[in-house]
Amino acid sequence: MQSQKNGRRRAIIQDIVAVIMIMGIIFTVILSIKLRVQIAYIASGSMEPTYYKGDLIILEKVNAAQVKIGDVIVFLHPITKNIYILHRVVAKKFENGKYYFLTKGDNPDRNIAIDSWGWVSEDNLYGRLVQRIPCMGYLIEITQNPVIKVLLFLVILTTLILSFVSQREIKEIRRIKEFNYLPRKLGSLSSLMIFIIIIGSLFISLAIITPGEFNVHLQESYLIHDTNTNITYLSICLSIKSEGFFFESIRKIILIARDPSNETLGEAVWSISYNFHGVKKVSIALLLNASIIPQSVLLDIKIFIKSITKVRIKELYDVPLSPREE
């Protein structure tokens, strides 16, 4: 009896050591990932409906030279130093050995104009958005409380220890059952694999033969001159319709403004990191590189549609755009 108790104690100690080692490995992996990427959550609605308040976002660490027009970046507020902003890059310049960015939110109701603080230095750059997980940010916000963190740690630790102990106690029983039920399990796995292949083939076939509807419609346009930066730009509100099969979606839009003589006046990019289906109304800023702004502008639109096998491009040319002063 005493030897059984000693054996149980040794087993529990071994389990605890194994749990500590596993948690150490997990911590090391998280730390190594953290050196390349950051995880944050969206606390405001300035990027809606592209990205929503409460979304969990994954950011990659990039240098300023890698940031392109249309990228969504996180940066430290140039004036209020303890606030981080998630906005889209609408312009970029290199001056006095540093990169600077003009930014703007996508929200068509709250963010018609570019950000009031003007050019943002590369010193304020925190990261570039690469992916989002909807609504998970609310969970992260809750777990910022130190008490909740400690409770979660204790729950996870206790669960892991109990799991190791229970697995050791039923190890022999499982070994016998697995031997007896192996043929039945293999048959079940084969049936499951066949079912998955059939369903997958059906989905792919439907995606290929289903004609999706992908369109962009101009809702409103404003010609704005920003006195702080001495920049003239178009604030364009677009209605983006993406109604394809599950695997298809609009993922990027490039807008090119031309004057009546077909000279390029400026370019803007809108992109999204996930497939969406339905209609999104967004606001985009397009800087005009011209000393004299014409009375009317032609807008070329390229729609990039991501499907199962490739990215298709749909082009809409010569959309008349008559800007107006705000």
Q: What is the pLDDT of residues 23-50, one digit of tens each?
A: 655 554 454 455 566 788 888 899 999 9
Residue 309 sits in the same domain as residue 228: yes
Residue 112 sits in the same domain as residue 45: yes
Selected catalytic residue, list 15, 55, 71, 87: 87
* Parent domain of 98: 37-134
Statement: residue 15 has pLDDT above 90: no
Residue 94 sits in the same domain as residue 183: no
- Is residue 247 a part of any domain in this protein? yes
Query: Residue 107 is encoded by which pair of tokens?
Result: 């929200």
Residue 6 sits in the same domain as residue 53: no
- Is residue 279 a part of any domain in this protein? yes
Residue 220 sits in the same domain as residue 79: no
Residue 241 · residue 223 · CB < 8 Å: no
Q: What is the largest CA-CA distance in the chain?
A: 96
Query: Can you give the pLDDT at residue 317?
Result: 72
Catalytic (active site) residue 109 = yes
Statement: residue 88 has pLDDT above 90: yes
Residue 120 sits in the same domain as residue 154: no
Query: Can you give the pLDDT at residue 241?
Result: 94
Residue 304 · residue 272 · CB < 8 Å: no
- Is residue 158 a part of any domain in this protein? yes
In order, the DSSP letters of 150-173 are: HHHHHHHHHHHHHHHHHHHHTHHH
Query: Residue 45 is encoded by which pair of tokens?
Result: 């609605």
Our CA angle for 318, 320, 324, nearest 5°, is 145
Residue 124 sits in the same domain as residue 197: no
Query: Can you give the pLDDT at residue 325?
Result: 47
- Is residue 244 a part of any domain in this protein? yes
Catalytic (active site) residue 318 = no
- What mean pLDDT value characterizes the chain? 78
Q: What is the pLDDT of residues 112-136, one digit of tens each?
A: 999 999 999 999 999 999 989 887 6
Length of the chain: 326
Selected catalytic residue, list 46, 221, 242, 283: 46
pLDDT mean over 173-181: 50
Statement: residue 246 has pLDDT above 80: no
Top pLDDT among 323 and 217 is at 217
For 63, phi then psi, to 5°, come to -90, 165
For 273, phi then psi, to 5°, come to -90, 0
First vs last Cα of the chain: how many Å apart?
A: 88
Residue 107 sits in the same domain as residue 227: no
Statement: residue 252 has pLDDT above 90: yes
Query: Can you give the pLDDT at residue 56?
Result: 87
Statement: residue 5 has pLDDT above 60: no
What's the structural domain count of the chain? Answer: 4
- Is residue 190 a part of any domain in this protein? yes
- pLDDT band with cut points at 50, 70 and 90 for residue 162: low
Catalytic (active site) residue 87 = yes
Task: Give this prediction's pTM.
Answer: 0.72
- Is residue 224 a part of any domain in this protein? yes
- pLDDT band with cut points at 50, 70 and 90 for residue 243: confident
To the nearest 10°, the Cα dihedral for 30, 33, 34, 40?
-90
pLDDT mean over 167-186: 52
Residue 303 sits in the same domain as residue 313: yes
Residue 283 sits in the same domain as residue 294: yes
Task: Provide the 3-class DSSP secondary structure of residue 17.
Answer: helix
**CATH number of the domain bearing residue 61:** 2.10.109.10
Of 81, 111, 134, the domain-final residue: 134
Statement: residue 159 has pLDDT above 50: yes
Residue 270 · residue 282 · CB < 8 Å: yes
- Is residue 326 a part of any domain in this protein? no
Residue 178 sits in the same domain as residue 197: yes
Quick one: how far is CA 306 from the chain centroid?
Answer: 15
Residue 223 sits in the same domain as residue 313: yes
- Is residue 120 a part of any domain in this protein? yes
